[in-house]
Structure 1
Amino acid sequence: MTIQSPEVEVRAPRSLHGVGVTSGLAAGAWLGAAEAPTKLVAAGLTPFIVSLGMVAGVFVARWTVPVMLRGTHSLASDLKARPHLIVWAILAGMLWAVANTLTVFAIRDVGLSIAFPLWNTNSLIGLFWGWLLFNELRGSETKDWAKVLGGAGAIVIGACLLAYATQHSSATIAEGARTRGILAALGAGVLWGTMYIPYRKAYISGMNPLSFVTVFTVGELGTTLPLALIYQGGVGGLQTELSRAMPSLFWLFLGGFCWVLGDLFQQYAAKYIGIGRGIPLSNTNQLWGLAWGALVFGELAALSTEARMLVVGGSLVMIAGAVAIGLAEAPASEQASWRLAMERECRRYGLDPVEVAAAVGGEEATETASGRRPWWEFLIVAGALAIFVWLGLNASSPAIAMDYHWMAVLSAFSLVFLAVGGMVLWRRTRFS
Structure 2
Amino acid sequence: MSAQPQPSPEIRVQSRHGLGVLCGIGAGVWLGAAEAPTKLVHAGLSPYAISLCMVAGVFTARWSVPTLLKGTRSVFRDLGRNPQLIPFAILAGMLWAVANTLTVFAIRDVGLAIAFPLWNTNSLIGILWGRLLFGELKGASAANIFKVLLGTIAIVAAAIMLGFSTMHGGGVHPTHALNGILAALGASLLWGSMYIPYRKAYLSGMNPLSFVTIFTVGELVTMFALVLAFDGGLHAAVFHSSVVTPMLFWLFLGGFVWVIGDLFQQYATKYLGIGRGIPLSNTNQLWGLAWGALVFGELAHADATHRLLVVGGSLAMIAGAMAVSTAIATERESASTHEAIERECDRYGLDRTHVIHAYNGVAQAEDKREWWDWLILLGAAGVFIGLAVQARVPALLMNYAWTAVLTVILIASAVVCGWGLHKRTRFS
TM-score with structure 2 length normalisation? 0.92
Letter in 1 for 2:425: T
Matched residue count: 420
Q: 1:212 to 1:194 in 2, by over 3 A?
A: same
Q: Which runs of 5+ in 1 are unaligned?
A: 1-8
Q: Which residue of 2 aligns with 1:75?
A: 75
Distance in 1 between residues matched to 2:427 and 2:243, nearest whole Å: 40
Q: Which residue of 1 aligns with 2:242?
A: 243
Does the CA-based 8 Å contact 1:103-1:115 persist in structure 2?
yes
Does the CA-based 8 Å contact 1:117-1:318 persist in structure 2?
no
Q: 1:68 to 1:157 in 2, by over 3 A?
A: closer
In the TM superposition, what is the alpha-carbon distance from 1:184 to its structure 2 partner? 2.4
In the TM superposition, what is the alpha-carbon distance from 1:243 to its structure 2 partner? 3.3
Letter in 2 for 1:39: K
Does the CA-based 8 Å contact 2:97-2:222 persist in structure 1?
yes
In the TM superposition, what is the alpha-carbon distance from 1:169 to its structure 2 partner? 4.1
Q: Which residue of 2 aligns with 1:320?
A: 319
Does the CA-based 8 Å contact 2:276-2:325 persist in structure 1?
yes
Q: Which residue of 1 aligns with 2:346?
A: 347
In the TM superposition, what is the alpha-carbon distance from 1:304 to its structure 2 partner? 4.5
Q: Which residue of 2 aligns with 1:189?
A: 188
Does the CA-based 8 Å contact 1:113-1:290 persist in structure 2?
no
Q: Which residue of 2 aligns with 1:43?
A: 43
Q: 1:327 to 1:22 in 2, by over 3 A?
A: same
Does the CA-based 8 Å contact 2:364-2:426 persist in structure 1?
no
In the TM superposition, what is the alpha-carbon distance from 1:159 to its structure 2 partner? 4.7
Q: 1:292 to 1:176 in 2, by over 3 A?
A: farther
In the TM superposition, what is the alpha-carbon distance from 1:155 to its structure 2 partner? 3.6
Distance in 1 between residues matched to 2:208 and 2:299, nearest whole Å: 37
Q: Does 1:329 align with 2:328?
A: yes
Q: Output one character per residue of 1:39-72: Cα deviation in whole Å (capped at 9) or x when no partner.
A: 1112222211111111000000001111111111
Q: Output one character per residue of 1:345-373: Cα deviation in whole Å (capped at 9) or x when no partner.
A: 0000000111100001111533512xxx3
Aligned to 1:12, the other structure's residue is in SS state helix
Aligned to 1:365, the other structure's residue is in SS state coil
- RMSD between aligned residues: 2.0
Does the CA-based 8 Å contact 1:89-1:219 persist in structure 2?
yes
Identity in percent: 60
Does the CA-based 8 Å contact 1:121-1:159 persist in structure 2?
no
Distance in 1 between residues matched to 2:101 and 2:181, nearest whole Å: 14
Q: Which residue of 1 aligns with 2:337?
A: 338
Q: Output one character per residue of 1:102-154: Cα deviation in whole Å (capped at 9) or x when no partner.
A: 22222333443443232211111111111111111111111111111212332
Does the CA-based 8 Å contact 1:73-1:367 persist in structure 2?
no
Distance in 2 between residues matched to 1:241 and 1:103, nearest whole Å: 24
Letter in 2 for 1:396: R
Q: Which residue of 2 aligns with 1:135?
A: 135
Distance in 2 between residues matched to 1:160 and 1:410, nearest whole Å: 23
Distance in 2 between residues matched to 1:321 and 1:10, nearest whole Å: 24
Q: Output one character per residue of 1:277-327: Cα deviation in whole Å (capped at 9) or x when no partner.
A: 111111111110111122222223455543443355345434432331232
Q: 1:159 to 1:420 in 2, by over 3 A?
A: closer
Does the CA-based 8 Å contact 2:130-2:274 persist in structure 1?
yes
In the TM superposition, what is the alpha-carbon distance from 1:403 to its structure 2 partner? 1.9
Does the CA-based 8 Å contact 1:280-1:326 persist in structure 2?
no
Q: Which residue of 1 aligns with 2:209?
A: 210
Q: Which residue of 2 aligns with 1:158?
A: 158
Q: Which runs of 5+ in 2 are unaligned?
A: 1-8
Q: Does 1:260 align with 2:259?
A: yes
Letter in 2 for 1:382: L
Aligned to 1:414, the other structure's residue is in SS state helix
Q: Which residue of 1 aligns with 2:360?
A: 361
Q: Which residue of 1 aligns with 2:86?
A: 86
Which of 378, 383, 388 in structure 1 is aligned with 2:384? 388
TM-score with structure 1 length normalisation? 0.92
Q: Does 1:404 align with 2:396?
A: no
1:292-311 to 2 correspondence within 5 Å? 292-310=291-309
Q: Which residue of 2 aligns with 1:106?
A: 106
Q: 1:291 to 1:345 in 2, by over 3 A?
A: same
Distance in 2 between residues matched to 1:231 and 1:249, nearest whole Å: 21
Aligned to 1:396, the other structure's residue is in SS state coil
